[in-house]
Amino acid sequence: MIVTLTANPSIDRTVNLVGRLERGTVLRAAATHSDPGGKGVNVARALTSAGVAAVAVLPGNEGDPLLTALSEHGIEHVTVATSGPARTNITITEPDGTTTKVNEPGVVMSAESLADLQSEIIERGSRAEWVVLSGSLPPGIPTDWYATLVEALRSASCRVAVDTSDAPLLALAERFPAAAPDLVKPNSEELAQLTGADGQLLEESALRGDPTATAHAGRQLVDRGVEAVLATLGAAGAVLVTEAGAWWATPPPIVARSTVGAGDSSLAGYLAAHMSGATPADCLRSAVAYGSAAAALPGTTLPTPDHVDIDAVTVTALSSPAPDPA
């Protein structure tokens, strides 16, 4: 069983524009649709479609449209009461595929709801193979909460994966190695936040065929206690770094329609393969296959195994980046 935590879930409202996004004008939408969202929710959705048992833990009150949508999608979920309905995050897509996203801050979480959420995760973590801590933290949650959770889950037998950004990510890294997870899934920007690298350069050099800088940045985190770093690089695929080595996987050519949820699908693909006992290289292959399948789908539509072409992904072993002399 995989338990995902989404402290800041959302309804993802996608608006497909007829033309280009022009600031300060009235724009016409060709179509709109809504999906249940939030990073951990997306991971649980993709895992469920892949036939891997998953439960999404999130704040939410009975009658919240997000919970109704989760039930309609057949996603197992557990909620703790909170102070209001889930936020709505807006995705605006233009006909050429350009995507603009506006995320609300989320519902303020009381100390009581936070304590309930923490107990739920720790209790469920003690019976799970993996706990996945994903996404931003809503107002009311201390920025170092993920660090606290990772440390609290140390005594449980589960593995812990974290996918977050900005202050919660930096607060987690400040408490490495005590709070170093089994897996982190930064994108290029997040890897840059953690290591001081230039995120755009990491992606650009991988796109030109050289992922070495990403492997070196990932190695810095392994040296600080993280067991595996799955660094996703958009169209350039992803790099996996562990103590044992580093690998780069590139996706098949696709027409990207919406990358929203691509990172979450990558994480789900990695975990689904890991649960089946796959090698690190094959976990990476599955991550990139799921990520690129998601990027080819509209809005926050997540891939099912039918969308995923594992064999179309190319995996290359990289010469192992040396440990940081510092």
Ligand X SMILES: Nc1ncnc2c1ncn2[C@@H]1O[C@H](COP(=O)(O)OP(=O)(O)OP(=O)(O)O)[C@@H](O)[C@H]1O
Quote the tokens at residue 163: 């996918």
Q: Which of 264, 268, 282, 303 binds ligand X (CB under 6 A)?
A: 264
Give the integer Cα–Cα distance in Å for 155 and 79. Answer: 24
Q: Which of 9, 36, 59, 251 binds ligand X (CB under 6 A)?
A: 251
- Kindly state whether residue 299 participates in binding ligand X, applying the rule CB under 6 A: no
Task: Given the residues 198, 264, 311, 324, select the one marked as catalytic.
Answer: 264
The DSSP secondary-structure symbol of 14 reads: E
Q: How many residues bind ligand F1X (CB under 6 A)?
A: 17
Distance set, CA 39 to CA 156, 164, 175, 241, 309 (Å): 23, 9, 23, 22, 23
Residue with tokens 């919240």: 64
Quote the tokens at residue 73: 């999608």
Quote the tokens at residue 155: 């005594």
Q: Could you tell me the smallest distance in angstroms from the CB atom of residue 299 to ligand F1X?
A: 9
- Kindly state whether residue 281 participates in binding ligand X, applying the rule CB under 6 A: no
- Kindly state whether residue 135 participates in binding ligand X, applying the rule CB under 6 A: no
Q: Could you tell me the smallest distance in angstroms from the CB atom of residue 135 to ligand X?
A: 9
Q: Tell me if residue 264 is catalytic.
A: yes
Question: Using CB under 6 A, which of the segments 36-44, 121-129, 183-191, 240-248 binds ligand F1X?
Answer: 36-44
Q: Which of 38, 199, 251, 303 binds ligand F1X (CB under 6 A)?
A: 38
Cβ neighbours of residue 68 under 8 Å, at least 6 residues apart? Answer: none
Name the binder of 288 from ligand X, ligand F1X, none, CB < 5-8 A by kind. ligand X
| CB of 89 or CB of 259, closer to ligand X | 259
- Kindly state whether residue 237 participates in binding ligand X, applying the rule CB under 6 A: yes
- CA–CA–CA angle 99, 103, 109 (5° rounding): 160
The DSSP secondary-structure symbol of 89 reads: E
Name the binder of 233 from ligand F1X, ligand X, none, CB < 5-8 A by kind. ligand X
Which of 236-239's residues contact partners 24+ apart within 8 Å by CB, and which partners? 236/203, 236/206, 236/207, 236/211, 237/206, 237/288, 237/292, 237/313, 238/266, 238/284, 238/287, 238/288, 238/291, 239/206, 239/211, 239/214, 239/215, 239/318
| CB of 10 or CB of 16, closer to ligand F1X | 10
Residues that bind ligand X (CB under 6 A): 187, 232-235, 237-238, 251, 254, 256, 259-264, 266, 288, 291-292, 295
Residues that bind ligand F1X (CB under 6 A): 8, 10, 12, 37-39, 42, 89, 103, 135-136, 165, 260-261, 263-264, 300
- Active-site residues, by number, are 264
